[in-house]
């Protein structure tokens, strides 16, 4: 119990240091939520937020998520994936000049961009589902803005100390020490920002090659431009703008209102348990009052500068740091944890009405999102498993539509485009089907009589073919048009692709 | 304008105007906007110095400040055109000097040649032969397998270089389909008879008796160029009369007109107008249309 006393004393001391830091603070208020509605009039410039470090489950979870996401971001371009000779061996590569996207075993050609669209739809639906179940999980844990801001705040804390020290430092006059701390912080920020922009460009070119070019200063100017651009935005958004990005720039806080409902798990202050709030003396009775001792730790910890006790608000990214802050205090004052916790609006009502709170995850909304998600995932899977490595398209000549030859027969010309998506050369045999009496030929210089087309690995071959029909057969075609098929067969594997096209003649 | 007035709610000064009791806040411009505006003004001064900007009048007429870096859009176009020519020159030089068959066996060169040939065809040949080289009456269809002067690469190349009945070129392809009627060599009934015989040759409906009479006329007047069987002679540019392709039409009326008045279509000699690389590209392109012969 002495522990509680010292904590409260320490908090009081800290509050004294903080006093006056917030221009909108009311008298006697120790921690001010600078971005809460009552403290932020419409016409006012930003008041800096000094989030305090907390310890606990969610802080640990956030460290973990940060480590995992940043590792994925920085390491992915360096993963190698052997695709055979003459092809990039980078696992994830967005190769714009060659018009290919590589994702491990998957290779996307421009005409297959719907796979990327599908992935984006899956991501959006996943976001909807998660939001309807547990609120702004994306915002709170995984959004790059949150992750980098968190990292930048940590750097700031390393150089300038925790909340109270930072406030004092900002209020103190300039000195060599202050300059050194500030310079160290900004320099580290710039380095992180450069690394962020640097990692970004590695997704668009062979990473080791580009890294070598950076070292010898002969990387393409576009690479420097994008490193600079992303370094600048990382520094500005993560270091300077921070919570303003979420509050003013991001559209998602506005959209999410439609995503969650009264049964969604949201980081909330349990008003029914916490009120009436007020300072509590050690040993005093808890009868007739709420569990909230109004220590303001939830406000101090908030990176968005709000007071979670004001209820659900647009600014809240649901990072759950206030839960950790409050749990720490609840442990010290020996009250049960979870005064601030993931809770639903309905459960607040249920508790007030004396009912047992329960989770209602299976709701029409979540079921609908899940079903649509599963449906799109299934479509994607089917499309992916049916993806062929042989793609054929046939273009019939339109100018002229047909040519009369000296023996009176009618000839049509076709461009047969054969796409070989395999990583080795393939030999294809081209034939026609469904046009009786027709003769398939190639231009004289392409090699007489041969219907064999060789397509290099990962390439498209454009082969020209002629189909001729004797005069009497051509004349017999109804309406001058007849459909038939080009059949392209892989001579090795026997795989067949068939494309329908039209033979045109003068008709009767 | 009335005296200064501050809004109670926001504490911001108003513009002083009142519209039915409604006042307008006089918020200052956002700082970022103002600074951007100042930056743009500074930028414009720098721009005046660096880039061509101000027009002014001299004794010789209007001119303008040139700017210190000598920026000039005409130079950019000139440089770009030069770069294209430079980039192509290797391939076009090869195309201009290599044997045509060898170009055809080199896919990379062939791609350049077909592209250049297609472009040159659209610029120079399409007006007569059509955009799809499908020809029209009097202008041969270049897609088919019927060639008056031959359809090998060399034949097409020669035709392109020297033209047909192009007086200015000494080596031009030359022959004459005489005007048998107009010049009084054959009379009307003889012309009608020989036309019936030509219809017979090409397997079309005809008058048998007239055709028999026409045989004698054909043998005396036509075989020298068109051959005993009427299959033509490419050396002389005499068309094959037995096939299904007619440059001026294959019905009785058209044949009578051809025999009566003669035919002498003209194609310019391109050797003096286009460079050798372009002519060879055109050769390969025309050859690739479908009628090319080995």
DSSP state of A310: G
Asked if A400 lies within 8 A of B12 by C-beta distance, the reply is no
Q: What is the pLDDT of residue A25?
A: 37
Q: According to DSSP H, which parts of A27-113 are helical? A: 57-75
- Which residue is closest to B148 within chain A, CA to CA? A406
Asked if A448 lies within 8 A of B145 by C-beta distance, the reply is no
Query: How many angstroms separate the CA atoms of B104 and B40, rounded?
Result: 58
Per-residue tokens: B112: 């350049």
> By the 8 A CB rule, do A256 and A129 touch?
no
Other residues' Cβ atoms within 10 Å of the Cβ of residue B96? 16
Q: Decide which of A229, A256, A283 is a domain's last residue.
A: A256
Which residue of B12, B27, B144 is in closest CB contact with A403?
B144
Query: How many angstroms separate the CA atoms of A156 and A139, rounded?
Result: 21
- Which residue is closest to A441 within chain B, CA to CA? B290
Q: How many domains does chain A have?
A: 2
- Phi/psi at A107 (5° precision): -130, 125
pLDDT category of residue B202 using cuts at 50, 70 and 90: very high
Give me the domain span that covers residue A78.
Answer: 2-98+135-256
- Does residue A311 belong to any structural domain of this protein? no
Which residue of B10, B12, B294 is in closest CB contact with A444?
B294
Q: Decide which of A223, A256, A289 is a domain's last residue.
A: A256
Residues B159-196 pLDDT 10s: 999 999 999 999 999 989 999 999 999 999 999 999 99
CA of B58 vs chain A CAs: smallest distance (Å)? 42
> By the 8 A CB rule, do B84 and B102 touch?
no
- Phi/psi at B56 (5° precision): -150, 160
Q: Mutation target for B interface from A23, A240, A403: give the one with most B CBs within 10 A.
A: A403
Regions of chain A where pLDDT drops below 50: 1-2, 5, 16-29
pLDDT (mean) for B219-229: 94
Same domain, A175 and A27: yes
A445 interaction partners in chain B (CB closer than 8 Å): 104, 287-288, 292
pLDDT category of residue B3 using cuts at 50, 70 and 90: low
Q: Of A338, A359, A476, A470, which is closest to residue A410 (Cα–Cα)?
A: A470
- Does residue A114 belong to any structural domain of this protein? no
What does pLDDT average to over chain B? Answer: 92
- Which residue is closest to B12 within chain A, CA to CA? A43
Residues B41-93 pLDDT 10s: 999 999 999 999 999 999 889 999 988 988 999 999 999 988 888 877 788 88
Asked if B245 lies within 8 A of A404 by C-beta distance, the reply is yes
Q: What is the pLDDT of residue A282?
A: 84
Q: What is the pLDDT of residue A42?
A: 65
Per-residue tokens: A129: 């589902």
A408 interaction partners in chain B (CB closer than 8 Å): 243-244
> By the 8 A CB rule, do A333 and A4 touch?
yes
Residues B95-115 pLDDT 10s: 999 999 999 888 889 989 999
CA of B180 vs chain A CAs: smallest distance (Å)? 26
A410 interaction partners in chain B (CB closer than 8 Å): none
Which residue of B131, B146, B245 is in closest CB contact with A399?
B131
- Does residue A287 belong to any structural domain of this protein? no
Q: Decide which of A256, A287, A311 is a domain's last residue.
A: A256
Q: What is the pLDDT of residue A22?
A: 41
Query: How many angstroms separate the CA atoms of A343 and A359, rounded?
Result: 9
A400 interaction partners in chain B (CB closer than 8 Å): 130, 132-134, 141, 143
Query: How many angstroms separate the CA atoms of A114 and A100, rounded?
Result: 13
- Does residue A104 belong to any structural domain of this protein? no
Task: Give yes or no for B136 touching A (CB within 8 A).
Answer: no
Asked if B134 lies within 8 A of A400 by C-beta distance, the reply is yes
- Widest CA span in chain B: 118
Query: How many angstroms separate the CA atoms of A30 and A41, rounded?
Result: 20
* Structural class in CATH, domain B177-261: mainly alpha
Q: What is the pLDDT of residue A24?
A: 37
- Please state the domain extents for chain B: 14-64, 177-261
- Which residue is closest to B243 within chain A, CA to CA? A406
- Does residue A169 belong to any structural domain of this protein? yes
- Does residue A265 belong to any structural domain of this protein? no
Q: What is the pLDDT of residue A47?
A: 86
- Does residue A401 belong to any structural domain of this protein? yes
Asked if B12 lies within 8 A of A448 by C-beta distance, the reply is no
List Cβ<8 Å contacts ≥24 apart for A361-369. Answer: A361/A133, A361/A263, A363/A132, A363/A261, A363/A263, A365/A132, A365/A261, A366/A129, A366/A132, A366/A133, A369/A125, A369/A128, A369/A129, A369/A132
- Does residue A157 belong to any structural domain of this protein? yes
Asked if A406 lies within 8 A of B290 by C-beta distance, the reply is no
User: Which residues 159-198 of B are in CB contact (within 8 Å) with A?
Assistant: none
B104 interaction partners in chain A (CB closer than 8 Å): 445
The DSSP line for A385-446 is HT--SEEEEEEE--SSS-EE-TTS-EEEEEEEEEEE-SSS-EEEEEEEES-TT-EEE--GGG
């Amino acid at each position: 119990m002495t522990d509680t006393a010292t904590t409260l004393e320490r908090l009081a001391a800290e509050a004294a240091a903080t006093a006056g830091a917030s221009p909108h603070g009311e008298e006697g208020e120790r921690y001010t939520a600078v971005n809460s509605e009552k403290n932020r009039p419409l016409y006012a410039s930003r008041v800096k937020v000094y989030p305090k470090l907390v310890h606990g489950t969610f802080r640990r979870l956030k460290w973990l998520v940060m480590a995992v996401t940043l590792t994925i971001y920085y390491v992915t371009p360096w993963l190698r994936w052997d695709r055979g000779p003459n092809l990039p061996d980078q696992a994830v590569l967005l190769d714009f000049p060659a018009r290919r996207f590589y994702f491990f075993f998957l290779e996307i050609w421009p005409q297959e961009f719907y796979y990327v669209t599908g992935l984006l739809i899956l991501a959006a639906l996943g976001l909807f589902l998660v939001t309807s179940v547990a609120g702004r999980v994306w915002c709170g844990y995984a959004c790059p803005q949150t992750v980098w801001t968190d990292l930048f705040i940590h750097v700031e804390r390393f150089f300038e100390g925790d909340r109270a020290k930072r406030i004092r430092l900002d209020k103190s006059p300039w000195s060599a020490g202050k300059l050194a701390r500030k310079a160290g912080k900004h320099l580290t920020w710039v380095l992180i920002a450069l690394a962020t922009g640097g990692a970004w460009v590695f997704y668009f070119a062979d990473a080791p090659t580009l890294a070598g070019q950076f070292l010898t200063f002969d990387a393409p100017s576009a690479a420097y431009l994008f490193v600079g651009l992303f370094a600048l935005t990382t520094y500005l958004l993560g270091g300077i703008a921070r919570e303003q990005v979420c509050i003013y720039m991001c559209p998602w806080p506005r959209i999410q209102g439609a995503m969650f409902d009264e049964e969604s798990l949201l980081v909330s202050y349990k008003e029914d348990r916490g009120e009436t709030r007020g300072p509590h003396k050690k040993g005093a009775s808890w009868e007739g009052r709420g569990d909230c001792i109004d220590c303001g730790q939830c406000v101090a910890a908030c990176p968005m500068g709000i007071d979670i006790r004001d209820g659900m608000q647009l600014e809240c990214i649901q990072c759950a740091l206030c839960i950790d802050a409050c749990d720490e205090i609840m442990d010290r004052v020996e009250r049960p944890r979870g005064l601030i916790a993931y809770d639903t609006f309905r459960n607040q009502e249920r508790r007030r009405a004396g009912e047992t709170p329960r989770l209602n995850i299976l709701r029409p909304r979540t079921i609908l999102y899940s079903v649509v998600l599963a449906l799109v995932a299934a479509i994607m899977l089917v499309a992916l498993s049916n993806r062929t490595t042989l793609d054929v398209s046939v273009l019939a000549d339109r100018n002229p539509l047909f040519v009369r030859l000296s023996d009176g027969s009618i000839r049509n010309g076709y461009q047969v485009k054969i796409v070989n998506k395999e990583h080795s050369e393939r030999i294809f045999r081209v034939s026609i089907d469904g046009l009786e009496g027709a003769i398939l030929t190639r231009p004289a210089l392409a090699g007489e009589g041969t219907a064999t087309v060789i397509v290099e690995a990962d390439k498209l071959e454009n082969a020209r073919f002629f189909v001729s029909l004797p005069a009497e057969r051509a004349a017999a075609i109804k309406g001058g048009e007849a459909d038939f098929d080009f059949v392209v067969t892989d001579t090795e594997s026997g795989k067949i692709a068939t494309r329908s096209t039209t033979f045109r003649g003068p008709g009767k | 304008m009335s005296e200064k007035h501050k809004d109670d709610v926001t504490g911001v000064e108003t513009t002083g105007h009142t519209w039915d009791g409604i006042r307008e806040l006089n918020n200052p411009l956002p700082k970022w906007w103002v600074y951007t505006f100042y930056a743009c003004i500074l930028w414009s001064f720098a721009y005046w110095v660096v880039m061509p900007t101000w027009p002014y009048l001299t004794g010789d007429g209007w001119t303008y400040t040139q700017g210190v870096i000598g920026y000039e859009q005409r130079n950019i176009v000139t440089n770009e055109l030069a770069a294209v020519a430079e980039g192509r020159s290797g391939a076009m030089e090869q195309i201009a000097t290599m044997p045509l068959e060898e170009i055809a066996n080199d896919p990379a060169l062939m791609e350049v040649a077909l592209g250049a040939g297609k472009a040159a065809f659209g610029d120079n040949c399409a007006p007569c032969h059509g955009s799809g080289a499908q020809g029209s009456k009097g202008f041969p269809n270049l897609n088919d397998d019927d060639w008056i002067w031959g359809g090998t690469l060399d034949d097409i190349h020669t035709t392109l270089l020297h033209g047909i009945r192009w007086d200015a070129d000494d080596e031009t392809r030359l022959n004459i389909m005489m005007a048998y009627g107009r010049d009084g060599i054959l009379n009307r009934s003889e012309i009608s008879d020989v036309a019936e015989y030509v219809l017979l040759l090409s397997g079309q409906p005809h008058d048998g008796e007239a055709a028999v009479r026409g045989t004698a006329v054909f043998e005396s007047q036509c075989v020298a160029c068109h051959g005993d069987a009427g299959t033509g002679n490419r050396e002389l540019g005499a068309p094959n009369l037995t096939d299904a392709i007619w440059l001026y039409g294959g019905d009785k009326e058209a044949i009578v007109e051809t025999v009566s008045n003669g035919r002498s279509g003209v194609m310019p000699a391109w050797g003096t107008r286009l460079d050798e690389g372009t002519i060879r590209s055109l050769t390969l392109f025309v050859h690739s249309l479908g009628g090319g012969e080995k």
